[in-house]
Structure 1
């Protein structure tokens, strides 16, 4: 989450020869003076990851670092280190962006950088759920172009409260075996590609995000006297570890799962039989993930009959929830069990229309059948779909300020969806893809899609030729870290409400985001809210059953 910072010896980095510690909520760019500290001070819950950025002085090509170990009352904490790579933005996403280099990809520390760009390390510490609370200390030892620089002291305060391993907010972000394979130059049928896909999905899970798509292969099925006989072996091999918590030491699990369509089911009767078998199988496994059928994405008027038919089949199969990405639409009324409009559809705003039917979530729920859920998702409406500032000032304003996953937008906008979800009470978040640019271009050079830099792309293909490694690997983005931090913000607020202070949690959330386009961008204010959340949570936790019964988890 990158908070709990005690900024000391604040100075302008450009004026100092020593390494400086900078909040992860600051995007360090060439020629832009930022403020930092001489040491890193992090605060984290058990079951949480926190990070600091360390900016090295001078023009540096190569960096090496000793492992960072932090010692305290419990087991030694270790840190993960990356070097920030820069993406050259040609066309800004809108007036909030600028052309030029922007930090985004997190590559191995030893990856050479350009001397004209800042040398920035992203240093992340994660505390297991069983970590002994208390203060942990260590020093980061770094060499820049083979010369030692001053060590950077790290102090980590592990709080007594614990975040759940599995996210409390359901999410479903897209990823595809075929996109991953294309980005890495692999055959999608190869064992290497399928292993790599699992690594990508596991990485999403490490960041509190669940995935849909994956191999996209429906399990083999045949039909006998109207009954679907499905061979789930390949599906189970692929997906069971994500639903059963076997991939990460924390036991984290996916929160959602989509029913995969199947081309072998051709008639309505066969589709219903197949869906019924899929739902029965899923329930028989005891998996807790929210199962849903993803109907046609952003249906147009001519797609209404298709969506209605899909909905009818899913319900006939056993009340499988149907997800529809659309605002409230009379033509589709009754077809969606999980209605999923864009973020813009929830927050009225003066100026040009960015959603054809804007409605606060409290009112929207009154228009839906009992038991319906409301998710939301970001689209190019968060930045404008054409790329670059719009000449019409009122139109440009309508597309600025929104929570956004774009590279050239402030980190606070990248992080805001978690607090916004808590503030609004939305039931889940959808995002269409995390590797979209893998299909169309070299993401290391350009991830401009749908008018924005990074729309649908939260990874970079870590090929051996690019990284100098032996194996292919996903390269995470700063934006994925910010998304994770926002989801941890959600967990803090959710836990505070659960411990008996829902009004306090709402007030804290409103200090970060008052609406989808009114998001606090002052980093110090974000950090202060984090401190206040930590103080309130610690007080509540110490008087709760969880403190009295350490084995009990929230």
Structure 2
């Protein structure tokens, strides 16, 4: 009997498989016939993870069933909700959603920290939502008295930017989430989802513990609560973590209109609110021949009151003596330690470094020995004789670890511009963290971790808002028509298309998701600083100290080096939570 079954089994299995295939094919055809045209247009496509539309559709239908079970009689069949942390860029296509289906979100934060999450609204197949709103509410402490007011929650509408085909690898070309617009009603149709970004600013004096509350989502009259749980840690972050993230900025709106003084200050304030230093503030509009010290002081003081850590002043290459009145003034104000001057040749070749940058540096040190010179350059043997702060791309020369060991007497920063020149690469630039719209969010957040791992006390990004120049239309036209990225390649000696290079916020000003994620990375740096401070004072058990040392070394669950890191956001988020527990456990 066994042999007969064994003999006939292949044919039997083939018949069963064929029958199942026919049944599945019939079911598939029946399903396709029921789909709207917008869905039918996707039937042969893959999502950004490589999942075919058939499986995307299956997941979506399963999620709808889960949604109805979760909310029971309160559920609407017209839409469902999803939530996600702030470390994932959520595509516009609702079938590509990879977050958590449901109406619950849990986050944690230190006191005086901002933590983010996202709320996605996913219409049912074939449904359109004409007016969707999200309103905040207070969070009540569960263990006793204490309220985080609704005003501590800021809600944004997430806008999408259509990318153009670049020469570097990306998950997809199309609408990427980036611009964050003021809260307001949204419309959702076709295969789109609607997306809200929520910032929770934990008050400095908030009592530690667990808080809960809800947001209210209203879609065409159907109201659904979004349940929020927040764990507030017992330690407090400073108003500004002492880790400069420097950017060059300008005072013009696209396509070249000069900002008003008020708009310029609002732009500067937005950078500083997100732990980014608009260092051009010390040279923007500054004329050494007609130096207006009162106006200079007013602008610098405005920024320093909001956490500015460094600023750049003109380098006056041809007549550096003209800097003397300004330098003397900075010395009298006690601001000279925050002032920088850029070298006379950006990203030099080795020959240019020797012929231009080295003599410039010697001249500046002779005239102004306490004024620091900074320079972006590949490694050269004499780099520490050309600048006080050497900014190196993590992919150039022999890489980040080599740079950290060969900085000489210079302070090392890593810089991110996506198209450095006069360099050679040790590894592909696109394998390291970058700041483009079509980079995954984990890349932006990892940059401060790379800095910590290599003990570099600052970082630089090109640029804050200088990439606006190529934008067509007026200051607000783009909000209706959509932000248009240039499809023109950068010209020789540069090259390529770089989606989002040169700006981290939008005219308005409005923040970007990239700016929010960078802020979170700076706060991670603050966690590491707090852990290090407590570790140095601690007399705890050996295992606890070993755990602290492992976290301070940056575990492989986050990154190994600048080109070998964990793209799963939960690796970083788990590590961050472990660091928070260590901070709370170690005695102050």
Instruction: Give the TM-score band, short-chain normalised.
Output: 0.7 to 0.9
Asked which structure has the greater CA Rg, the reply is: 2
- Contact 2:246/2:459 (<8 A) preserved: yes
Equivalent of 2:254 in 173, 177, 182? 182
Structure 1 spans left out of the alignment, 5+ residues: 1-9, 223-229, 248-252, 349-357, 386-394, 462-472, 545-554
Other-structure match for 2:380: 329
Q: Distance in 2 between matches of 1:74 and 1:406?
A: 40
- Contact 1:254/1:289 (<8 A) preserved: no
Alignment CA distance shift 1:400-1:162 (3 Å): same
Q: CA offset at residue 18 of structure 1?
A: 2.8
Other-structure match for 2:484: 445
Alignment of 1:223-242 (within 5 A): 231-242=292-303
Q: CA offset at residue 437 of structure 1?
A: 2.7
Q: Distance in 1 between matches of 2:221 and 2:398?
A: 53
Alignment of 1:242-253 (within 5 A): 242-243=303-304, 245=305, 247=306, 253=307
Other-structure match for 1:482: 517
Q: Could you report, residue by residue, the CA deviation over 1:332-367 in whole angstroms, capped at 9, with x for unpaired residues? A: 55121111111213764xxxxxxxxx76244213xx
Alignment CA distance shift 1:147-1:328 (3 Å): same
Alignment CA distance shift 1:447-1:166 (3 Å): farther
Q: CA offset at residue 114 of structure 1?
A: 5.2
What TM-score results when the alignment is normalised by the length of structure 2? 0.74
- Contact 2:383/2:390 (<8 A) preserved: no
Q: Distance in 1 between matches of 2:131 and 2:360?
A: 55
- Contact 2:133/2:185 (<8 A) preserved: no
Q: Distance in 2 between matches of 1:373 and 1:103?
A: 35
Q: CA offset at residue 314 of structure 1?
A: 2.1
Other-structure match for 1:162: 236
- Contact 1:46/1:130 (<8 A) preserved: yes
Q: CA offset at residue 511 of structure 1?
A: 2.4
Q: Distance in 2 between matches of 1:491 and 1:14?
A: 40
- Contact 2:384/2:390 (<8 A) preserved: no
- Contact 1:13/1:35 (<8 A) preserved: no
The answer on 1:105 being equivalent to 2:167 is no
Aligned to 1:453, the other structure's residue is in SS state: coil
Q: Could you report, residue by residue, the CA deviation over 1:21-65 in whole angstroms, capped at 9, with x for unpaired residues? A: 112212211131313153111110111100111111204453223
Equivalent of 1:216 in 281, 284, 287? 284
Higher relative contact order (CA 8 A, sep 6+): 1
Q: CA offset at residue 129 of structure 1?
A: 2.2
- Contact 1:51/1:123 (<8 A) preserved: yes
Other-structure match for 2:131: 62
Equivalent of 1:530 in 576, 582, 585? 576
Alignment CA distance shift 1:141-1:343 (3 Å): same
- Contact 1:345/1:359 (<8 A) preserved: no
Other-structure match for 1:433: 463
Other-structure match for 2:105: 40
Q: Distance in 1 between matches of 2:512 and 2:187?
A: 16
Other-structure match for 1:205: 272
Other-structure match for 1:277: 325
- Contact 2:207/2:232 (<8 A) preserved: yes
Q: Distance in 1 between matches of 2:201 and 2:460?
A: 26
Would you tell me which structure has more helix in proportion to its own residues?
Answer: 2
Q: CA offset at residue 97 of structure 1?
A: 3.2
- Contact 1:219/1:232 (<8 A) preserved: no
Alignment CA distance shift 1:317-1:148 (3 Å): farther
Alignment CA distance shift 1:289-1:396 (3 Å): closer
The answer on 1:306 being equivalent to 2:351 is no
Other-structure match for 2:118: 53
Q: CA offset at residue 172 of structure 1?
A: 1.3
- Contact 1:257/1:289 (<8 A) preserved: no
Q: CA offset at residue 168 of structure 1?
A: 1.7
Other-structure match for 2:227: 153
RMSD over aligned Cα atoms: 2.9
Q: Distance in 2 between matches of 1:13 and 1:377?
A: 42
- Contact 1:255/1:288 (<8 A) preserved: no
Other-structure match for 1:297: 346
Q: Could you report, residue by residue, the CA deviation over 1:134-183 in whole angstroms, capped at 9, with x for unpaired residues? A: 22221111212x323311011112111011112221221111013xx335
Alignment CA distance shift 1:114-1:101 (3 Å): farther
Q: CA offset at residue 454 of structure 1?
A: 1.0
Aligned to 1:19, the other structure's residue is in SS state: strand
Equivalent of 1:345 in 384, 396, 405? 396
- Contact 2:313/2:341 (<8 A) preserved: yes
Q: CA offset at residue 421 of structure 1?
A: 1.0
Other-structure match for 1:254: 308
Aligned to 1:376, the other structure's residue is in SS state: strand
Structure 2 spans left out of the alignment, 5+ residues: 1-58, 68-78, 473-477, 491-495, 536-544
